[in-house]
């Protein structure tokens, strides 16, 4: 049995044999978190302004074709890409940023003032789904995995 990698290129394929997958021994090779998130952007200056001014990221480096920003433990890399797509992806994939529950309403109001577009409505008060200037799907989320699992168990009971 194997896992096939989905690819848009018919010539590129990868099969991972699940029978050779093993749990890391002695915690070596174990993923411990998200190191950084890199987003391709069409207009670097606009994206740096959005992430720093609207979302509060600290700009650590701003060059001609890339910028590095930081929020909490998250390192965000923005890279100018002239081949950037022009619309949001149709799929559900998105990046979710952690925010304190008491700060979420004010940031939602601030994002509304700068005209962000929502890509999904939420029936929960702990999430806000919106698009960045290049159509990347983002979420502000004030919960954690435990609260999400608890909400799921209640809704599926």
Please compute the mean of the pLDDT values over residues 138-157 and round it to a whole number. 84
**Domain locations in the chain as residue ranges:** 33-155
Over residues 10-43, the pLDDT tens digits come to 555 666 565 556 665 666 788 888 899 999 999 9
* Architecture of the structural domain at 33-155: Roll (3.10)
Torsion of CA 55, 57, 62, 68, to 10 degrees: -120
Which residue out of 53, 87, 102, 139 is catalytically annotated? 139
Q: Provide the 10 A C-beta neighbour count for residue 33.
A: 6
Tell me, yes or no, if 70 is annotated catalytic. no
Q: Provide the 10 A C-beta neighbour count for residue 15.
A: 9
Structure confidence at residue 147 as a pLDDT band (50, 70, 90): confident
Structure confidence at residue 5 as a pLDDT band (50, 70, 90): low
What residues contact 36, with CB distance under 8 A and at least 6 apart? 74, 75, 76, 77
Cα–Cα distances in angstroms (integers) from residue 104 to residues 57, 99, 110, 120, 132, in the given order:
15, 6, 10, 16, 17
More confident residue, 2 or 27: 27
Q: What is 90-151 written as a DSSP string? A: SSS--EEEE--TTTHHHHHHHHHHTTPPPSB--SSTTEEEEE-TT--EEEEE---HHHHHHH
């Amino acid at each position: 049995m194997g896992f096939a990698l989905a690819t848009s290129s018919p010539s590129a394929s990868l099969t991972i044999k699940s029978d050779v997958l093993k749990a890391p021994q002695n915690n070596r090779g174990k993923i411990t978190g998200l190191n950084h998130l890199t987003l391709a952007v069409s207009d670097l200056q606009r994206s740096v302004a959005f992430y720093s001014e609207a979302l509060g990221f600290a700009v650590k480096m701003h060059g001609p074709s890339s910028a590095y920003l930081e929020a909490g433990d998250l390192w965000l890399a923005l890279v100018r890409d002239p081949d950037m797509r022009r619309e949001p992806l149709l799929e559900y994939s998105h990046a979710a940023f952690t925010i304190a529950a008491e700060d979420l309403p004010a940031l939602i109001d601030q994002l509304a003032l700068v005209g962000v577009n929502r890509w999904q409505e939420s029936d929960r008060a702990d999430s806000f789904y919106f698009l960045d200037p290049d159509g990347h799907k983002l979420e502000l989320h004030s919960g954690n995995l435990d609260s999400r699992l608890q909400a799921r168990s209640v809704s599926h009971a």
